[in-house]
Amino acid sequence: MRIELPKSVERFGAIRFGDLQKVFELDSGMDNGYIPEPKHAIQRIPYQQLCRIFRDMAIVVPVKNERLKLVEGVLCAIPHPCMIIIVSNSPKSPVDRFSMEQDALRDFCTFAGKNALITHQKDPLLAKAFQSAGYNSILDNEGMIRDGKAEGMLIATLLAWLAGKKYIGFVDADNYFPGSIEEYIREYAAGFIISRSPYTMVRIAWHSKPKIVKSKLFFRKWGRTSTKTNYLLNSLISHYTGFETEIIKTGNAGEHALSMDLALNLDYSAGYSIEPYHIVNLLEKFGGINESPLPEIMKKTVEIHQIESRNPHLHEAGEKEHIDQMRYLAMQVIYHSSICPETLRREILREARSGGHIKADSDISQPHYFPALSRIDKSKFLDEISPAPYAQLIRNGIGKEN
């Protein structure tokens, strides 16, 4: 891969937000012994280097009731050395969609000659393991794991940590272009290679989202939710720096990856609000506004790399209510942050009311949060899940053979 370094970087406390990085070559060949000078603005990353990161990376596919053909396409796009984790919240009746997903994964693994891990979000064993490990916020009133994409992602992050992975990346299961997924994962690895910090997040900005408009293909750049979310996050940063900024271009990036060191130390919020809350929580913890609960990380830097993909992104189009809900969730986590200034809070409230997200006399409801996973008692969790078919894979460090 040949990729530019961020042209500009905005520093905020311990955080370095990098501007969008462009990819010049998806595959720049093998290592030829040539070491680029660090001052080169465009870095060539040989395949062997990407591969070294793949071996330490788990790729998570959260799935809820997606077409199997799409899930199969996603699986075949994940570079062989990566560990695959599917967390499904698909229904088991009247048709057992989960068992169909298990079959599809089993077939894939047979043909690809690798192991992979699949679990269901509502597996009582997982709920019990979280409870024993002292992490009750992920449980619902029935004592099962809550619904939601973020909740599935948290399960997967924990399993990847237990399996000894150093990086974790997420790709949605409803993607029509396997080639785009392969590209995102290469970009995750490239971001980790470029980063000089153990605390790194890589977020993908889609090149475009193709749509049919008046019988013609139109390649739209910004999604309906992301424009608004980016604006609010940039307003939050501008308030503190005193300089208007457009640095955040990936406020809703579903396609993103984290170094495990960072993933374990962030707090999370529920469902689809997880991605905007990444940025909010980074600012809260490492932005230098509040006293950081993690002074050791404050002494280092946290790097955010935003990489623009080359492939277009085509996924199942969401209904208007779904899009509205995602917008509201982003507003919610910014509005309720301890670092949200009063002016922005008023603006968000006005917008939520005028946009019909809440009634004219209502306030924005509190989001549901999850504390950092680092507080989990790992050995208690492992003990509880030992009857699960994948526990042995985790113990053996699944993916080492790939």
d(CA 302, CA 261) in angstroms, rounded, equals 10
> Which partner in Mg ion, ligand GDD, none is near 330 (CB below 5 to 8 A by kind)?
none
| Contact status, residue 205 vs residue 306, Cβ threshold 8 Å | yes
d(CA 338, CA 352) in angstroms, rounded, equals 19
> Which partner in ligand GDD, Mg ion, none is near 273 (CB below 5 to 8 A by kind)?
none
What are residue 369's DSSP bridge partners? Answer: 269
CB of 118 to ligand GDD, least distance (A): 11
Token pair recorded at residue 327: 């917008």
Report which of 134, 135, 105 is spatially closest to residue 118, judged by C-alpha positions. 105
Give the CB-nearest residue to ligand GDD. Answer: 254
d(CA 275, CA 248) in angstroms, rounded, equals 12
> Which partner in ligand GDD, Mg ion, none is near 272 (CB below 5 to 8 A by kind)?
ligand GDD
Report, in angstroms and rounded to the nearest whole number, the Rg of the chain calculated over CA atoms: 21
The runs of H, that is alpha helices, within 208-307 are 224-241, 260-263, 274-286, 295-299
Pick between residue 310 and residue 315 the one whose CB is nearest to Mg ion. 315
Token pair recorded at residue 237: 């940063």
Give the CB-nearest residue to Mg ion. Answer: 315
CB of 333 to ligand GDD, least distance (A): 12
- Where on the chain is the footprint of Mg ion (CB under 5 A)? 174, 315
Pick between residue 40 and residue 221 the one whose CB is nearest to Mg ion. 221
Whole-number Cα distances in Å, 200 to 203, 235, 301, 328? 10, 23, 9, 27
CB of 317 to Mg ion, least distance (A): 8
> Which partner in Mg ion, ligand GDD, none is near 184 (CB below 5 to 8 A by kind)?
none
Which one-letter amino acid corresponds to residue 293? P
d(CA 272, CA 172) in angstroms, rounded, equals 12
Pick between residue 88 and residue 234 the one whose CB is nearest to ligand GDD. 88
> Which partner in Mg ion, ligand GDD, none is near 164 (CB below 5 to 8 A by kind)?
none
Pick between residue 17 and residue 184 the one whose CB is nearest to ligand GDD. 184
> Which partner in Mg ion, ligand GDD, none is near 62 (CB below 5 to 8 A by kind)?
ligand GDD
d(CA 152, CA 53) in angstroms, rounded, equals 23
- Where on the chain is the footprint of ligand GDD (CB under 6 A)? 62-64, 66, 87-89, 121, 147-149, 152, 172-174, 223, 225-226, 252, 254, 272, 275, 315-316, 318, 322
CB of 225 to ligand GDD, least distance (A): 6
Pick between residue 197 and residue 250 the one whose CB is nearest to Mg ion. 250
- Three-state DSSP at 182 gives helix
CB of 111 to ligand GDD, least distance (A): 22
Buried b (16+ CB within 10 A) or exposed e, 214-248: eeeeeeeeebebbebbbebbbbbbbeeeeeebebb
CB of 179 to ligand GDD, least distance (A): 17
CB of 33 to ligand GDD, least distance (A): 40
